[in-house]
Every structure is written in structure tokens, then in C-alpha cells.
Amino acid sequence: MMHIDDDTLLKFVLETLDEPDNGTVRDHLSLCPICSGKRLELQREVRSLASVDFQVDAVVPPRLPQRSRRSMMIVRFAAVLAVGFVAGYIMSEVSAPQTTTTVGQQLRPAPVAAPITRPAPCSAIDI
Amino acid sequence: MNEDWEQLELARAGDETAWRMLFQRHYGPLVKMTSCIVGLVDPARDIVQECFVRLLHCKIKHRDGTFRSFLSTMAYRLALKEKGRRNTNRRIGDLDVIDDAPSPLEEAIRNENDRRIVRVIQSLPDHHREIVALRFFSGHSYEEIAVITGIPIGTVKSRIFHAIKSCKVKLQERETSL
């Protein structure tokens, strides 16, 4: 039985083989324990590359921009103002005295003013 | 992952929790990837911070790809820029001296075996190292790497094969020399 060469096996492990060749290698590996052993060894080596452990300290993310915070503050402030305005309006409506006038009151004639009396001239007053 | 895009929108609207979750999920792999490209950990951290700052302000034209690819593309480009800047600032007196002292990147790694692997990866040519960083440290698929780097997928596969083959040979040489 012809064994798979090292380059082809590495390409298979790296998943860089195109489909016809990939299938051929897969079929061979299912039958050949020697090549399967080599494949496992290669896989272990390749995985060790991916598992390199860097000392990456926990770092805080950059601060969110002030613009969005400021806009959130403005929105909150506007909401509080709106709620206050609506509540104030309702309260004033509830507590205000009711000043209703009837039709009879509206049609009643205005009171007649007293006749204006002309004052006597100063010469007429006998002091 | 749609969840990431949604969390970005929440963060942009001022949601601190969404912002922290997004940051914690992507910070580690991005620092690993950019460290590998730049060769230093501290500038890599700065690059990743810069990426997240840009995320908040940049105009996103489309969201067809994954958020991870989008972020990695940004980090990859900034890392290349930083590497180029460092190379041009280098003077004759700053030329590397070949010695056995651990590089700053190696010093950030505790495990001795991991240090050995990183040293070998650092010795690869730039175009191979970048692909290895994207594949093994950020965990991108070949299709994603092709989009991030802007090179054909066949070239990506070819480079990864040659890079790993080279790593394997160098690691074996080091083992026999010890």
C-alpha cells in the first residue's frame, strides 16, 4: 500500500486540500493505521500553535463618547420636564375654583348708575 | 455573529454593559494577533484600544460579514501600519543583533514551550507570519483571511502550508540542537 507523503498529509490536516484529493486522503486514512498515526501527530503539532497562551491582562474598554452620554442626559432632562409640566397642569386643573355662570346671570341687566348731580358753584355757597 | 452587531449598536447608544461584553469577547484574540504581526505586546494593546475607539465613531457601510472579521480587518491594517512605521524609524544602530535573549513578545509568554513556538513564528517572513496570526491566534477561516488581507484564497492556503511546514522544520531543528 502506498502511503501518503508528508506534504499532502500536512495539507489535509490544515484543510487546504481541494475536494477530490481530500476524499482520497480521507479514504486512505480510514484504512492505514500508519498514516492515521502520523496525522494525529501532525494535528497535535498544529493545535499547539493555536494554544499559545499570551499574558493578556484584563483591560478596561475605552470610555463611551461624551456625546452619547450628554444626549442621554438631555433626553432624561427633557422627559423629567415633560412629566413635571403635565403633572403641574393636571394639578392646577383639579385645584382651581369652579367659576360657572348661568344664562340668567348673563342676561340680567346691568345696575343703573345713580344720576350725576352737578355741584353748586362756589359763589352760591354762603360761608 | 449578529449579536455582536446588535451589541455595538447598543454601545453606540450609550449602553456600558454591551460595550464591556463586546470588548471582553474580542480583546484577547485581537491582542494575540496584532502582537504577532507587530512583534510587541504594548503597541498591540494600543492598536486594539484604537480599534475599539474607532468602532464607536466609524461609519459602517454594510454588515454582510461577521463582526469579528470587520474588527480583525481594522486591527490587521493598523498593525501593518504600525509595523511599517517602526521599520522606517529604525536606524543603522538599531539593527537586530542575533542572540538568544527573549524578545519582548516572548517575555509576555509564561510557558516555555509556547515561547519556543512564538520564537519560531517570529522568524517567519512577514507575509507568512500575518497569515499564521490570523489563522491560529484569531481563529479565522481561510475565506475570512482572504477578505481581511485582500489576497486570493489559494494564496492564503499556500502561505499557511509553507509557513507551518517551515515552523515544523525549525522546531525540529531546535529540538535536535538542544
Q: What is the pLDDT of residues A62-79, one digit of tens each?
A: 887 765 566 677 878 888
Instruction: Write the DSSP string, A72-87.
Output: HHHHHHHHHHHHHHHH
Collect all residues of chain A within an 8 Å Cβ-Cβ radius of residue B114: 51-53
Closest CA to B119 of B97, B140, B138, B100: B100
- Residues of A numbered 62-121 whose beta carbons fall under 8 angstroms of chain B's beta carbons: which are they? 62, 64-65, 68-69, 71-72
CATH number of B30's domain: 1.10.10.10
pLDDT of residue B1: 55
User: Domain range spanning residue B17?
Assistant: 2-87+97-177
- Chain B residues with beta carbon closer than 8 angstroms to that of A8: none
Cell numbers given for A6: 508528508
Q: Is residue B123 part of a domain?
A: yes
Q: What is the 3-state secondary structure (H, E, C) of chain B?
A: CHHHHHHHHHHHCCCHHHHHHHHHHHHHHHHHHHHHHHCCHHHHHHHHHHHHHHHHHCCCCCCCCCHHHHHHHHHHHHHHHHHHHHHHHCCHHHCCCCCCCCCHHHHCECCHHHHHHHHHHHCCCHHHHHHHHHHHHCCCCHHHHHHHHCCCHHHHHHHHHHHHHHHHHHHHHHHHHC
The answer to whether residue B92 is domain-embedded is no
Q: Are B138 and B25 in contact (CB under 8 A)?
A: no
Residues, chain A, total? 127
Name the closest residue on chain B to residue A44, using Cα atoms.
B168
- A109 — pLDDT class (breaks 50, 70, 90): low
Chain A CB within 8 Å of residue B124 CB:
no
Q: Is A54 helix (H, G, I), strand (E, B) or coil?
A: strand
Helix (H/G/I), strand (E/B), else coil: A4: coil
Buried b (16+ CB within 10 A) or exposed e, B99-119: eeeeeebbebbeeeebbbbbb
Give the per-residue pLDDT at B100.
58
Helix, strand, coil percentages, rounded to 5, for chain A: 60, 0, 40
What distance in Å separates the CA atoms of residue A6 and residue A82, rounded to the nearest whole number? 75
Q: Please give the residue of chain B at the shortest CA–CA distance from A70.
A: B14
Confidence of residue A127 (pLDDT cuts 50, 70, 90): low
**Of residues A10 and B92, which shows the higher confidence score?**
A10
- Map out the domains of chain A as residue ranges: 6-50
pLDDT exceeds cutoff 70 at A101: no
User: What per-residue confidence (pLDDT) applies to B86?
Assistant: 80
pTM above 0.80, yes or no: no
Q: Would you state the cell numbers that stand for residue A56, as one nine-digit string?
A: 493578556
Residue type, B10: L
- Asked whether the beta carbons of B18 and A68 are under 8 A apart, the reply is no
Nearest CA of chain A to the CA of B86: how many Å? 22
What confidence tens digit (pLDDT) does each residue in A11-36 have? 999 999 888 888 999 999 898 899 99
**Total domains, chain B:** 1
| A41-67 tens-digit pLDDT | 999 988 888 887 777 676 788 887 765
Task: Walk along chain B (178 residues) and give the pLDDT tens digit of each residue.
Answer: 578 888 888 888 888 888 898 898 899 889 989 988 988 888 888 999 999 989 888 887 777 778 899 999 999 999 999 988 887 765 555 555 445 566 667 766 777 788 888 888 888 999 999 999 999 988 899 999 999 999 999 999 999 999 999 998 888 887 766 5
Best of A16, A19, A72 to substitute, by most chain B Cβ atoms within 10 angstroms, is A16
Nearest CA-CA distance, residue B161 and chain A, Å = 6
Q: Answer yes or no: is B125 within a domain.
A: yes
Instruction: For chain B, say whether A45 makes contact (Cβ under 8 Å).
Output: yes
- Angle at CA of residue A39, ends A36 and A41, nearest 5°: 115
Decide if A64 and B132 are in contact by the 8 Å CB cutoff: no
44-73 in chain B: CB under 8 A from chain A: 45, 49, 52-53, 56-57
